[in-house]
Each structure stands twice: as C-alpha cells, then as structure tokens.
C-alpha cells in the first residue's frame, strides 16, 4: 500500500489533539466525500478547519480512487466524522462520489479500505463492526456502492496481473544539473519552472518538461487540453498545479516518493520502467 503522511500532503497542524486508546475502538466507519475525485486531503482539511471550525481534517484516514492512502488524524486520535460515535470509531473517507451505474470506488480503492480495516482490527485486537456512516447517522454517506460492499464483508478482488511492455524509447537523459528539479516558480534557484525560459543542454526548460510529459502520453496517459491531465493549459511546459498533479499521480503509479516535483528518479522512471 502507498501511504502518504501528513507531512507529504502538506497538512496544517491540528488546533488540538485528543488521544483515544485502541481498546476504546469498536467500529470502522466508512464515508465518501460525495464530491469530485480531484478533491485532495488538503482541500478537505481546509474545509473542515476553516469552513466547519474543526480542530483538523475530520477523518482518521482517507483513500483516493487510485488506492492511495492518506494519513488524516491517524489511528489513535479522536476524529470528527460520526457524531456521537467518534470515540468508538475509526473513520475512513473515500475521496469520490457514488454515481448510479458507475463503479466509483473501484478495486484499488476497495483494496486500500480493506487493508485499513485489517490494520485497524489488528491494532485494536478485535473484529471492528463494519459500519457505513448512514448506519449511525441521517445521511446518504457513504453511498449505495460502498455501503453494500461493506455489508457484503468488504470482499477484495485478487489483483489480475496486467501484461507489461517496455517503456517507449529512446530514453532521454535527465537534462538538469545535479540537485535541480522541475518545480514551482517561487521555489529556490534549483527549482526549474519554465517561467523564466532557462536553457539546459541547448534547449529551454519548457521544452524539457514538455518532452517528459509527452513520454507519459506515449505510455498511455491521457494528457492535453480537455483530457484527463493538463486539462486547462495543456502541455505548455510551465510547471503549475496541473503538472504537479500529473507528476504526483505518476509517482504514485510507480511507487516513488510522492512530492509532485520532477527530479531524476521520476524522470528516469518514465523512460526506463515497463508500462503496466
Ligand atoms: Zn460520512
């Protein structure tokens, strides 16, 4: 499982922390965010702290559609997700919605939720009651799809190994000097953004960033204006939130450290690792 710590997703510090010993836990409560899967733990935390006035993001853990797990309050902290049941409950939120006729929480997300459930039972030393938020509160949460799955015993498909093929070639060497990476324009000098049209190895930084994103397209990623990634600005070679999201998703996909910055490891993975 890929677990993104609070530090890694840039969590704000909680206003306060109340510990709950594992022996007090009885339930494992599943939620959904009921919004676009493009939501992030950061945006949910902002809403919970600034919109709702809570001490921190409400959930103990979160899971996205790719099955990436994000640390919320963590195992041993009182959450704010199931009124009247927070002490006894470990709350996990699927970042996404439940559209009729559509599998929104797919095999990867389910495997991650199930993994958290198994961890929670191991840590508390008991079989926690599988609970959908709607079972203990007046809400549609977590949607019909996850609710039915919970009460079916949270079955998880065996992952089917997908055939892999070699990365499309030829490999392009990492173009930046040691210690440099593609990152935000307001970063240090070694953060190369494309905004200032710096040249490396005879080509502009924008060209290099476009070259790398083009390699992801060759690997089958849907990239460009109106497509899944780089939707608004296209592959323009100027690092911003869209490139950060693309780089982070590729890092998750490859099991790399997820920081949204394009350094040598992430660069080479696109040219060297098989396409799965
Ligand atoms: Zn809920």
Q: For residue 225, what pLDDT is reported? A: 85
CATH number for the domain harbouring residue 12: 3.40.80.10
93 CA to middle of ligand 1, Å? 7
85 CA to middle of ligand 1, Å? 12
Residues 193 and 64 in one domain: no
23 CA to middle of ligand 1, Å? 23
31 CA to middle of ligand 1, Å? 4
Q: Among 109, 132, 151, which residue terminates a domain?
A: 151
Residues 143 and 219 in one domain: no
pTM of the full structure:
0.60
Residues 130 and 11 in one domain: yes
The answer as to whether 190 is a domain residue is yes
Q: Among 151, 169, 198, which residue terminates a domain?
A: 151
Instruction: Name the residue with tokens 């396409």.
Output: 275
Residues 22 and 146 in one domain: yes
Helix (H) or strand (E) holding 30: strand 27-32
The answer as to whether 173 is a domain residue is no
| Backbone torsions φ then ψ of 146, nearest 5 degrees | -70, -35
Residues 132 and 210 in one domain: no
30 CA to middle of ligand 1, Å? 7
100 CA to middle of ligand 1, Å? 18
Instruction: Name the residue with tokens 């996205």.
Output: 64
The answer as to whether 63 is a domain residue is yes
Q: Among 151, 169, 195, which residue terminates a domain?
A: 151
Residues 200 and 252 in one domain: yes
CATH number for the domain harbouring residue 249: 1.10.101
Q: For residue 37, what pLDDT is reported? A: 82
* Strand, helix or coil for residue 272: helix
| CA pair distance 128, 118, nearest whole angstrom | 9
133 CA to middle of ligand 1, Å? 5
* Strand, helix or coil for residue 129: strand
241 CA to middle of ligand 1, Å? 28
Buried b vs exposed e over 20-47: b needs ≥16 C-beta within 10 Å? beeeebbbbbbbbbbeebebbbeebbeb
The answer as to whether 119 is a domain residue is yes
Residues 27 and 135 in one domain: yes
Mean pLDDT of successive 10-residue stretches along the chain, which has 276 residues: 91 97 97 92 97 97 95 98 97 96 93 96 96 97 97 83 80 96 97 97 96 94 89 95 97 94 98 90
Instruction: Name the residue with tokens 């910055």.
Output: 261
Q: Domain tally for the chain?
A: 2
Q: For residue 158, what pLDDT is reported? A: 67
| CA pair distance 145, 276, nearest whole angstrom | 27
Residues 222 and 263 in one domain: yes
Residues 186 and 229 in one domain: yes
Contacts of 154 (CB under 8 A, 6+ apart): 110, 113, 114, 117, 130
Q: For residue 160, what pLDDT is reported? A: 59
52 CA to middle of ligand 1, Å? 14
113 CA to middle of ligand 1, Å? 14
Confirm if 119 and 20 have CB atoms less than 8 A apart: no
201 CA to middle of ligand 1, Å? 52
97 CA to middle of ligand 1, Å? 11
Q: Please give the residue range of the domain that contains residue 193.
A: 181-272
The answer as to whether 166 is a domain residue is no
141 CA to middle of ligand 1, Å? 5
Residues 133 and 16 in one domain: yes
82 CA to middle of ligand 1, Å? 7
The answer as to whether 176 is a domain residue is no
91 CA to middle of ligand 1, Å? 9
Residues 142 and 200 in one domain: no
245 CA to middle of ligand 1, Å? 26
Contacts of 99 (CB under 8 A, 6+ apart): none
Helix (H) or strand (E) holding 71: strand 69-71
Residues 12 and 139 in one domain: yes
| Backbone torsions φ then ψ of 86, nearest 5 degrees | -70, -35
Which residues lie across from 30 on neighbouring strands?
A: 92, 132
């Amino acid at each position: 499982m890929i677990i993104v710590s609070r530090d890694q997703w840039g969590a704000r510090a909680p206003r306060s922390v109340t510990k709950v010993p594992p022996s007090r836990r009885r339930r494992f409560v599943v939620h959904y965010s009921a919004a676009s899967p493009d939501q992030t733990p950061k945006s949910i935390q902002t809403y919970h702290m600034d919109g709702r006035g809570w001490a921190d993001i409400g959930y103990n853990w979160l899971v996205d559609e790719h099955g990436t797990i994000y640390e919320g309050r963590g195992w041993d902290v009182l959450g704010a997700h199931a009124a009247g049941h927070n002490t006894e409950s470990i709350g996990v939120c699927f970042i996404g919605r439940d559209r009729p006729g559509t599998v929104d929480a797919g095999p990867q997300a389910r495997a991650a939720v199930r993994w958290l459930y198994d961890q929670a039972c191991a840590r508390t030393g008991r079989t926690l009651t599988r609970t959908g938020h709607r079972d203990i509160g007046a809400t549609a949460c977590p949607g019909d799809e996850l609710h039915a799955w919970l009460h079916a015993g949270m079955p998880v498909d065996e992952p089917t190994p997908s055939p892999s093929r070699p990365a499309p070639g030829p490999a392009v060497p990492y173009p930046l000097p040691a210690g440099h990476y593609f990152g935000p324009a307001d970063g240090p000098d070694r953060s190369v953004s494309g905004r200032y049209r710096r040249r490396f190895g005879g080509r502009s930084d924008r060209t290099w960033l476009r070259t790398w994103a083009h390699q992801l397209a060759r690997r089958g990623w849907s990239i460009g204006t109106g497509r899944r990634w780089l939707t608004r600005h296209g592959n323009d070679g100027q690092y911003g939130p869209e490139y950060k999201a693309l780089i982070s998703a590729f890092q998750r996909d490859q099991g790399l450290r997820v920081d949204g910055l394009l350094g040598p490891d992430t660069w080479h993975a696109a040219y060297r690792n098989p396409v799965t």
